[in-house]
Amino acid sequence: MYLECRCCDISKRKWDELMKGAKKCNYKRLVKLIKENLPDLYEKLALDYPNPYADMCKQTKTHYILVSSMIEHFIRK
């Protein structure tokens, strides 16, 4: 599991590819996975505080898509 990119770092075409087939995911489960596998990212994004964008998080077959501060973080599964 690793942070592959953020929406602000990629083209619209790449974003469309990464979002293809995206479905809602469980935010609490995703945060737990990040805390366990990517503790530096967990700390940098301050995921221990409430996230008003939690309901916008998604997943695809290959990625988790964490939305924090209106930035989509594409995390490779």
Cα Rg of the chain (Å, integer) = 11
DSSP three-state, residue 70:
coil
User: What tens digit of pLDDT does each residue of 6-59 get?
Assistant: 999 999 999 999 999 999 999 999 999 999 999 999 999 999 999 999 999 999
User: What tens digit of pLDDT does each residue of 20-34 get?
Assistant: 999 999 999 999 999
| Per-domain residue ranges of the chain | 2-76
Q: What is the pTM of this model?
A: 0.94
- Closest by Cα among 74, 77, 56, 76 to 5: 74
Residue with tokens 């997943």: 59
Residue with tokens 């619209």: 12
